[in-house]
């Protein structure tokens, strides 16, 4: 594939976080759709790089067309229909995780690429939490349907093979859950969390979005210096640090802004449009 000359003259790989970067409360600005399509027409590769699992990515987010996905915060990677990575919790770690969450009556989703699993008793509480969060969007709680439509109330969760867990409400601190579960487990802030609730995302320690970026560019034959990563959250730190150019959304996680090469305006201002233009992607 040939590319119009950008700042390097090479084909570049652009990795976009979803929530707070490409979309706002699950709604994608039209300018962002046009920017992605224009960059791909120019010969560049554009991929989503998100904490969401594949099952939590509705057509409204995918509609612009992408060259691939880094999902589940780096645990799952797919390029043009080819799965490069699909890393799930080992059975013993998965069982301990579910046991600890259930012991505290937590509201959580076990996230697999193909489905989202919630305890039946927590389904209504999950709906209320998500609707309250997405109701803050100007369009109302439309973004919650992308999650709720894919959720299954699953009785037998110990046999579910999942890549990550989103905890939306826990009576105990996330750090305590991590200690109780033990092993190679880590936690990062959840982008859908209300003040006053213990919430976060549980993942296998050592896995990050940077792993997904590395797998993609190795597969495509694109140099690390020709990568661009754009994000706004704690789970974007590794990919922004890894990329040739790292961009943080204005007003996002302070640690991310500190390590980024530059910033971009948030989705409500269609910040990716100006960022793509400045980078010579259009």
| pLDDT given for residue 144 in this prediction | 76
Let me know if residue 114 belongs to a domain. Answer: yes
Let me know if residue 6 belongs to a domain. Answer: no
Regarding whether 268 and 239 lie in a shared domain, the answer is yes
| pLDDT given for residue 9 in this prediction | 67
| End residue of a domain, out of 156, 185, 204 | 204
Regarding whether 83 and 216 lie in a shared domain, the answer is yes
Tens-level pLDDT at each residue, the chain (282 residues):
233 334 456 999 999 999 999 999 889 999 999 999 999 999 999 999 999 999 999 999 999 999 999 999 999 999 999 999 999 999 999 999 999 999 999 999 999 999 999 999 999 999 988 888 877 776 655 667 778 888 999 999 988 999 999 999 999 999 999 999 998 999 988 766 555 578 999 999 999 999 999 999 999 999 999 999 999 999 999 999 999 999 999 999 899 999 999 999 999 999 999 999 999 999
**CA–CA distance, 204 with 122 (Å, rounded to integer):** 24
Cβ–Cβ under 8 Å, residues 20 and 52 = no
Regarding whether 76 and 62 lie in a shared domain, the answer is yes
Task: Give one DSSP letter per residue of 123-150, joined into a string.
Answer: HHHHHHHHHHHHTTSTT-GGGHHHHHTT
| pLDDT given for residue 4 in this prediction | 35
Both structure tokens of 121: 């008793």
Both structure tokens of 65: 């067309």
| pLDDT given for residue 2 in this prediction | 31
Regarding whether 106 and 189 lie in a shared domain, the answer is yes
**CA–CA distance, 77 with 112 (Å, rounded to integer):** 13
Range of the domain at 136: 91-204
Regarding whether 98 and 192 lie in a shared domain, the answer is yes
Regarding whether 196 and 97 lie in a shared domain, the answer is yes
49: domain CATH number is: 3.40.50.1000
| End residue of a domain, out of 154, 185, 204 | 204
Q: Which residues pair with 85 in a beta bridge?
A: 77
Let me know if residue 151 belongs to a domain. Answer: yes
Regarding whether 191 and 141 lie in a shared domain, the answer is yes
Q: What angle do CA 280, 266, 212 make, to 5 degrees?
A: 65
**CA–CA distance, 130 with 245 (Å, rounded to integer):** 33
pTM score, two decimals?
Answer: 0.91
**CA–CA distance, 5 with 162 (Å, rounded to integer):** 41
Let me know if residue 253 belongs to a domain. Answer: yes
| pLDDT given for residue 133 in this prediction | 80
Regarding whether 160 and 223 lie in a shared domain, the answer is no
Helix (H) / strand (E) element for 95: namely helix 91-103
Regarding whether 236 and 187 lie in a shared domain, the answer is no
Regarding whether 102 and 198 lie in a shared domain, the answer is yes
**CA–CA distance, 202 with 163 (Å, rounded to integer):** 9
Both structure tokens of 130: 């998500």
Let me know if residue 185 belongs to a domain. Answer: yes
Greatest extent of the chain over all pairs of C-alpha atoms, in Å: 56
| pLDDT given for residue 6 in this prediction | 41
Helix ranges, 153-253 (H): 174-181, 209-220, 237-242
| End residue of a domain, out of 157, 175, 204 | 204
As for how many domains the chain has, the answer is 2
101: domain CATH number is: 3.30.1240.10
| pLDDT given for residue 196 in this prediction | 53
Regarding whether 136 and 174 lie in a shared domain, the answer is yes
Let me know if residue 3 belongs to a domain. Answer: no
Let me know if residue 7 belongs to a domain. Answer: no
């Amino acid at each position: 594939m040939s590319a119009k000359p950008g700042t390097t003259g090479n084909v570049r790989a652009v990795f976009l976080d979803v929530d707070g970067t490409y979309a706002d409360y699950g709604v994608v600005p039209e300018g962002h759709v046009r920017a992605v399509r224009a960059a791909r027409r120019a010969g560049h590769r554009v991929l989503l790089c998100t904490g969401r699992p594949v099952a939590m990515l509705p057509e409204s987010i995918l509609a612009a067309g992408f060259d691939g996905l880094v999902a589940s915060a780096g645990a799952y990677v797919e390029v043009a229909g080819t799965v490069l990575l699909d890393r799930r919790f080992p059975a013993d770690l998965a069982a301990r995780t579910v046991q600890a969450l259930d012991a505290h009556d937590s509201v959580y989703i076990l996230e697999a690429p193909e489905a989202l699993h919630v305890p039946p008793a927590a389904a209504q509480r999950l709906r209320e939490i998500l609707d309250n969060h997405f109701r803050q969007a100007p369009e109302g709680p439309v973004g919650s349907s992308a999650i709720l439509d894919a959720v299954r109330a699953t009785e037998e969760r110990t046999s579910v093979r999942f890549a990550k867990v989103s905890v939306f409400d826990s009576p105990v601190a996330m750090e305590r859950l991590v200690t109780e579960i033990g092993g190679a487990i880590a936690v990062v802030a959840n982008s859908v969390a209300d003040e006053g609730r213990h919430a976060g995302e549980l993942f296998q320690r050592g896995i990050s979005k940077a792993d997904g970026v590395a797998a993609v560019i190795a597969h495509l034959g694109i140099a690390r210096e020709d990568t661009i990563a754009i994000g706004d959250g704690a789970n974007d730190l590794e990919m922004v640090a890894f990329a040739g150019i790292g961009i943080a959304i204005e007003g996002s996680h302070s640690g991310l802004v500190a390590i980024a090469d530059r910033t971009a305006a948030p989705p409500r201002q269609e910040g990716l449009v100006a960022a793509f233009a400045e980078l010579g992607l259009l």
